[in-house]
């Protein structure tokens, strides 16, 4: 057993639902107890879909367990086929049904269903949602895709985008645009909006664009092996990655790497002097491996940030993230325990977090700005407006999104200059955000010079020796802008501990500052 508070990923059958819901003409019959239908609302509410997910649940109850749950499955399967008349069915078990050991695949095989029925084996007690997406799509491709004649013109399949994907809808448009500029047409986009019939035509493409390795890498490998279609290894998120992607596609297809950069504004925005204050901003990056890899590169090479921590929650890609960690000189965090992530962020004291919905909450709690770069996300990250992450427009979107939560340049200077200002004290927070109404004047102005004990009562928690901050040092520390104060405190204590200094004075503080100055 493992005590879990919040999870980054759902169970694998939710992954299968994401594939089924993304497609048309496919129906999923899920052997599951009452209550598992909760997952429907992820699609109808978070993604705001205007139809029910194409999933029928057997809804067995306690009293059915001793009796005929297999019979219930067969009846549900037949009814679902009769009602929805899909081009293909997928059948499988949720975690509870896995325990009662009915075999949905075997049961469906004994029935007379005139369309392909694909059985899913999703080990609920070992694997998670992303495995479910990848495995489901692979099984569908394996069952349906056959060698067919290539299209006369150069075409690509876009594989990986699916339901509940972070910005998948708009990434598709952006990648289509990139390919169009090179004269490459689209054969099939899958699973997003594809039908089972479309999957039978996958083999006609010249290249597979693997948009999201988490969701389609197994299928991409399978198609490379059985259909001879090469697939792209670069995910075009960020300007550099998009250039690499264009070059890779051009090479695989034997076409000119043509690009239209007229809409790309990110590089100039980042070069403009207004962005100078972004230099060396210390960021912590966490999310799914694909988006973390992309974000780390953008942060370092295209925004001028310093990446001080990175990690991912999907263990399937731990190796990639370890390699990335090596490149950045960091020990990566591979965990699905959000309390561990919170701890790591607290320790690193970054100026900004790039993460998921969970990190947004961690940031809120710690008072650190955060931008969302990866699933899981909430409803506000399925926006009505066009907002891809991939390609040129994606780079523009990312620049705006990441900059927005930060205190702006001039504001940052003024905060340092007038740090005792009653409207501009550190607890006021960024002025362009709500929820930071200035505190009442009495509280915010410099405290009256009352009699203070010579020693502040904040013994440090670091080290075995109790370390104390002298009152004037503590006061000086408070003058440092709040977003770097945690780091300053930690550095000073580290500096003091290394020198066996047990009382921190103003001098210790500035000696430490000089020591750590870059």
Partner 1 sequence: MNRPVNLPAATCRDTPVLKERGQREVFCGLTGIIWLHRKMQDAFFLVVGSRTCAHLLQSAAGVMIFAEPRFGTAILEEGDLAGLADANDELDREVGRLLSRRPDIKQLFLVGSCPSEVIKLDLARAAERLTQMHAPHVRVLNYSGSGIETTFTQGEDACLASMVPVLPETSARELLLVGALPDVVEDQAVDLLTKMGIGPIRVLPAHRSAEAPGVGANTVFACLQPFLGDTAAALERRGARMIQAPFPFGEEGTTLWLRAIADEFGVDDATFEAVTAAPRARARTAIANASAALRGKTIFFMPDSQLEIPLARFLTRECGMEAIEIGQPYIHKGLVGPDLDLIPAGPVISEGQDVDKQLDRVRAARPDLTVCGLGLANPLEAEGLTTKWAIELVFTPVHFYDQAGDLAGLFSRPVRRRDLLKLEAAE
What would the two tokens of residue 443 be? Answer: 């509280």
Toward partner 1, which CB reaches closer, 12 or 391? 12
- Give yes or no for a contact between 496 and 509, defined as CB atoms under 8 angstroms apart: no
Q: Which is nearer to partner 1, 51 or 225 (CB)?
A: 51
* Binding footprint of partner 1, residue count (CB under 8 A): 56
CB-wise, 135 or 474, nearer to partner 1?
135
Which of residues 3 and 417 has its CB atom nearest to partner 1 in the complex? 3
Minimum distance, C-beta of residue 94 to partner 1, in the bound complex (Å): 6
Q: Is 252 annotated as a binding residue?
A: no
Specify the DSSP element, H or E, that contains 106: helix 104-109
Instruction: Build a one-symbol-per-residue string for 73-112: x at contacts with partner 1 by CB under 8 A, - elsewhere.
Output: ---x--x---x----------xxx--xx------------
Please select the residue that binds partner 1; options are 27, 128, 222, 291, rule is CB under 8 A. 128
Please name every residue paired with 95 in a beta bridge, in sequence order, or none if there are none: none
Residue 385 touching partner 1 (CB under 8 A): no
Site for partner 1 in 19-38 (CB under 8 A): 33-38
CA 179/CA 3 separation, integer angstroms:
46
Interface residue with partner 1, options 66, 110, 112, 126 (CB under 8 A): 126
In the complex, least distance from residue 29 CB atom to partner 1, rounded to whole angstroms = 10
36 assigned to a ligand binding site: yes
Comparison of 40 and 511: residue with beta carbon closer to partner 1: 40
Q: What is the DSSP string of 397-461?
A: HHHHHHHTTSPPHHHHHHHHHTTT-SSSSGGG--TTSSS-PPPPHHHHSPPP-----SB-S---S
Paired tokens of 328 = 């950045």
Q: Is 358 in the site for partner 1 (CB under 8 A)?
A: yes
Question: Rule CB under 8 A: is residue 439 a binding residue for partner 1?
Answer: no
51 binds partner 1 (CB under 8 A): yes
Structure tokens at 143: 């069952």
The three-point CA angle 91-93-99 to 5° equals: 150
Task: Kindly compute the dihedral angle of the four CA atoms of residues 260, 262, 266, 269, in this order, to the nearest 10 degrees.
Answer: 150
Helix, coil or strand: residue 472: helix
Instruction: Supply the minimum distance, in Å, between the C-beta of residue 212 and partner 1.
Output: 20
Is residue 6 near partner 1 by the rule CB under 8 A?
yes
Q: Judged by CB under 8 A, which of 28, 60, 212, 313 binds partner 1?
A: 60
Q: Catalytic one among 68, 79, 260, 274?
A: 274
We find the least distance from the C-beta atom of residue 222 to partner 1, in angstroms, to be: 26
Residue 130 CB, shortest distance to partner 1, in Å, is: 12
* 274 is a catalytic site residue: yes
Residue 410 marked as a ligand binder: yes
Does the protein bind partner 1 through residue 166 (CB under 8 A)? no
Tell me if 194 contacts partner 1 by CB under 8 A: no
Identify the DSSP state of 150.
P
Least distance between partner 1 and beta carbon 6 (Å): 6
- Per rule CB under 8 A, is residue 323 in the interface with partner 1? no
Measured CA to CA, the distance from residue 489 to residue 480 in angstroms comes to 10
CA 230, CA 234: separation in Å to the nearest integer? 13
Q: Which of 171, 164, 239, 229 is nearest to 202 (CA)?
A: 229
CA dist 97 and 77 (Å) reads: 15
Q: What is the distance in angstroms between the CA of the first residue and the CA of the last residue of the chain? A: 46
C-alpha dist (Å) from residue 371 to 25, 44, 87, 377, 385: 36, 24, 41, 11, 17
Q: Among 42, 91, 194, 372, which residue sits at the site for partner 1 (rule: CB under 8 A)?
A: 42
Identify whether the C-beta of residue 406 lies closer than 8 Å to the C-beta of residue 369.
yes
Binding-site residue positions for substrate: 409-410
Q: What does the binding site for partner 1 look like in residue numbers (CB under 8 A)? A: 1-7, 9-11, 13-14, 33-42, 44-45, 48-53, 56-62, 64-65, 76, 79, 83, 94-96, 99-100, 123-126, 128, 358, 361, 365, 378
The binding site consists of 36, 409-410
Residues annotated as catalytic are 274
């Amino acid at each position: 057993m493992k005590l879990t508070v919040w999870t980054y990923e759902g169970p694998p059958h939710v992954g299968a639902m994401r594939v089924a819901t993304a497609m048309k003409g496919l129906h999923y019959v899920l052997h599951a107890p009452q209550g598992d239908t909760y997952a429907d609302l992820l699609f109808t509410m978070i993604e705001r879909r205007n139809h029910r997910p194409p999933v029928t649940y057997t809804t067995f109850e306690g009293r059915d367990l001793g009796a005929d749950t297999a019979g219930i499955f067969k009846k549900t399967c037949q009814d679902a086929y009769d009602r929805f008349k899909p081009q293909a069915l997928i059948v499988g078990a949720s975690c509870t049904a896995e325990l009662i050991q009915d075999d949905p695949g075997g049961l469906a095989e004994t029935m007379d269903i005139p369309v392909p029925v694909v059985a899913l084996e999703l080990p609920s007690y070992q694997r998670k949602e992303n495995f479910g997406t990848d495995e489901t799509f692979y099984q569908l491709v394996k069952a349906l895709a056959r060698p067919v004649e290539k299209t006369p013109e150069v075409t690509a399949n876009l594989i990986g985008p699916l339901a509940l994907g972070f910005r998948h809808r708009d990434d598709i448009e952006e990648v289509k645009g990139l390919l169009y500029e090179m004269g490459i047409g689209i054969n099939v986009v899958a699973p997003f909006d594809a039908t089972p019939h479309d999957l039978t035509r996958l083999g006609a493409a010249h290249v597979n664009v693997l948009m999201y390795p988490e969701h389609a890498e197994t299928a991409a490998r399978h198609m490379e092996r059985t259909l001879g279609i090469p697939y792209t290894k670069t995910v075009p998120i960020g300007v550099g990655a998009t250039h690499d992607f264009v070059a890779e596609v051009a090479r695989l297809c034997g076409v000119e790497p043509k690009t239209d950069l007229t809409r790309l504004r990110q590089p100039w925005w980042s070069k403009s002097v207004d962005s100078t204050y972004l230099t060396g901003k210390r960021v912590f990056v966490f999310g799914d491996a694909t988006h973390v890899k992309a974000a780390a590169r953008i942060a370092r090479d295209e925004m001028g940030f310093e990446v001080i921590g990175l990690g991912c929650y999907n263990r399937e890609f731990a190796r990639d993230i370890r390699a990335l960690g090596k490149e950045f000189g960091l020990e990566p965090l591979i965990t699905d325990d959000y309390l561990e992530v919170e701890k790591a962020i607290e320790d690193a004291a970054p100026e900004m977090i790039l993460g998921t919905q969970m990190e947004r909450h961690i940031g809120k709690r710690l008072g650190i700005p955060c931008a969302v770069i990866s699933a899981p996300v909430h409803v506000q990250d399925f926006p009505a407006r066009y907002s891809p992450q991939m390609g040129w427009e994606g780079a523009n979107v990312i620049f705006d999104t990441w900059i927005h939560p930060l205190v702006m340049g001039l504001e940052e200077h003024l905060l340092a200059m007038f740090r005792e200002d009653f409207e501009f004290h550190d607890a006021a927070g960024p002025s362009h955000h709500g929820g930071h109404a200035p505190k009442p004047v009495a509280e915010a102005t410099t405290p009256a010079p009352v009699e203070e004990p010579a020693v502040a009562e904040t013994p440090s928690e670091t080290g075995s020796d109790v370390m104390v901050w002298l009152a004037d040092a503590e006061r000086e520390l408070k003058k440092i802008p709040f977003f770097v104060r945690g780091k300053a405190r930690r550095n000073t204590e580290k500096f003091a501990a290394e020198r066996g200094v047990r009382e921190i004075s103003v001098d210790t503080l500035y000696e430490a500052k000089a020591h750590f100055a870059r």
